[in-house]
Amino acid sequence: MTIPRSHVLISVDANSIIAGVKSVESALIEELRKRNLDKEISVIETGTLGIIGKGVVMVVYPEGVFYGNVKVEDIPELVEEHFIKGRPLKRLIIEATPPTFISREEVGLTKKQTRIVLKNSGVINPESIEEYIAVGGFSALAKALTEMSPEDVILEVKNSGLRGRGGAGFPTGLKWEFTRKSKGDEKYILCNADEGEPGTFKDRLILEGDPYRIVEGMALAGYAIGAKVGYIYIRGEYKLSIERMQKAIETARNYGLLGENILGTNFSFDIYIRKGAGAYICGEETALIESLEGKRGIPRIKPPYPVAKGLWEKPTSVNNVETLANIPDIILNGSQWFRQFGTEKCPGTKVYTILGNIINAGLIEVEMGTTLREIIFQYGGGIQDGKKFKCALVGGAAGAFLGEEMLDVKMDFDNLREYAAVLGSGAILVMNESACIVDMMKSILHFFKHESCGRCTPCRVGTKKLVDIIEKFAHLEGSEEELEEMEKISLVMRDTSFCPLGQSVYLPVSSALKYFKDEFISHSKEKYCVAGRCKEKKVLVEKI
């Protein structure tokens, strides 16, 4: 058997498929075959390499050279230069952080990432259960079923300090304990993969890059709480995620890792996929449950909480994709191992999606407590085109604007709360000095108005009134009194809305006015927009 001298890992995810990755991959395989290099160079499909906006991306090992924006026509030159002459093709090289290990060591201007959730993404073939097993997959499940009781599993997760990564930050082990202790013959574990927050795509890339990790995490959760069935409620647009998760579930069944008497034990558990229909509100756990039951996806009155009465009135634990992806490593390595990362109150890592006016847009995983400055200027490479940082919208549309004075804030649940901000979904939209906050707020408020389910008056009426006000400023009108009214409306919505959708509007509104009130005033008084996007209304006068 010939051992390849190089491995080419090609990132196959939803973004790269649109960019034509399959054609590029086929061209590379054919070019290597024509030059009799197909036995020396191995071409492997893998999950995301964490790089977006760079078209087709690949990495060559053992050299660790990353290539981006690769087209079919580039392949002959790439093979000639790199694999025959032994010199990387400079014009296609992109800067990236190797995703294959856990380290704090600095490399040049970037830092290596601390990867737990994403440690297999971009490393193994996400569709191969053999490769997942080869890197330790399902070892945690085997350990739990043969060496630990359900209570032991819950205690390990509690001791780890893992908090929900969907945004709420509720202790995961405590949620499982409540669910296990709730009375009921049937219990359910739900994986919330209805990722509707603007700017957020971390869950999609986790599902695409390491689907068996979610299968294992859900099985461990099911064992812990006493569930025999789990559901993945996944955003319907996530075609590749759905395909890979379905294949992973079916393959795990064939291997005896799902179904009856898993690994020869008394534990039986299975997983099913249910598709969401595009409602942002279904990211809220009770609205998700309503939708899963075949009803209109609107939130329930709480209490009772899902841990007592959830799916079909049975005890239910709803956990985010990223939360469940942490479980196998916690069970396999122990809670103290997990606590060596992050902060005392927020242990572990956090997966972020970085977008906007930043050099290295994409997906990163770093320790909890990493500062916003480090995320933007070290992991993200800084601001594009040498421009100045203006602000970052942290946590998605339901998050807060953080100005330059907030760059050194530690990114974790507790530190951000002190500054009236939230970690949220992990989306970070970076804006440079030429970005218009009024225009950004216009997009956010239109989004909330569109996504409001209309059940409660504060949200239904409040979002419309906020849109009416922001439209005035977007057309270089408005007044300071209306800015005050805008903040008052959002405050009333925060205190009286039925669910988190209406309650969360206050964060972007209040933070935008806190840091950039002068920009709103300049729109109305000076008729000036820094980005040139906001224009006065043109009144059409009908000719007589």
10 Å Cβ neighbour count for 536?
9
Residue among 79, 87, 36, 40 nearest 63 (CA): 87
Residue 296 lies in a domain: yes
Number of domains in the chain: 4
10 Å Cβ neighbour count for 1?
3
Q: Is the confidence at residue 310, as pLDDT, over 70? A: yes
**Range from 64-78, 92-106, 350-364 carrying the lowest mean pLDDT:** 92-106
Residue 115 lies in a domain: no
Residues 249 and 262 in one domain: yes
Counting beta carbons within 10 angstroms of the beta carbon of residue 320, is it exposed (0 to 12), middle (13 to 18) or buried (19 or more)? Answer: buried
Beta-bridge mates of residue 360: none
Which SS3 state, helix, strand or coil, does residue 537 take?
A: coil
For the residues 236-243, what does the mean pLDDT come to?
A: 92
Residue 216 lies in a domain: yes
Asked whether the beta carbons of 448 and 280 are under 8 A apart, the reply is no
Residue 361 lies in a domain: yes
Residues 87 and 143 in one domain: no
Q: For residue 355, how far is the Cα from the chain centroid?
A: 12
Residues 219 and 245 in one domain: yes
pLDDT digits (tens, 9 = 90+) for 275-307: 998 888 998 999 999 999 999 999 999 899 999
Q: Provide the whole-model pTM.
A: 0.90
Token match 């997990």: residue? 338
Residue 544 lies in a domain: no
Residues 261 and 360 in one domain: no
Q: Which residue has the higher pLDDT, 496 or 198?
A: 496
Residues 407 and 375 in one domain: yes
As a whole number of angstroms, the distance between CA 473 and CA 478 comes to 5
Residues 171 and 276 in one domain: yes
Confidence band, pLDDT 50/70/90 cuts, at residue 536: confident
Residues 334 and 353 in one domain: no
Asked whether the beta carbons of 342 and 369 are under 8 A apart, the reply is yes
Asked whether the beta carbons of 517 and 525 are under 8 A apart, the reply is no
Task: Please report the DSSP string for 263-304 in residue order.
Answer: GGSS--BEEEEEEE-S-GGGGSHHHHHHHHTTS---PPPSSS
Among the candidates 318, 339, 360, a domain finishes at: 339
Confidence band, pLDDT 50/70/90 cuts, at residue 1: low
Among the candidates 339, 357, 372, a domain finishes at: 339
| CATH number of domain containing 18 | 3.40.30.10
Token match 């291997």: residue? 255
Which SS3 state, helix, strand or coil, does residue 454 take?
A: coil
Beta-bridge mates of residue 318: 190
* Residue range of the domain that includes 449: 437-525
| CATH number of domain containing 146 | 3.40.50.11540
pLDDT digits (tens, 9 = 90+) for 8-25: 999 998 889 999 999 999
Residue 536 lies in a domain: no
Residues 153 and 244 in one domain: yes
Confidence band, pLDDT 50/70/90 cuts, at residue 28: very high
As a whole number of angstroms, the distance between CA 254 and CA 397 comes to 41
Residue 149 lies in a domain: yes
Q: Left (φ > 0), alpha (ψ -120 to 50) or beta: where does 383 sit? A: beta
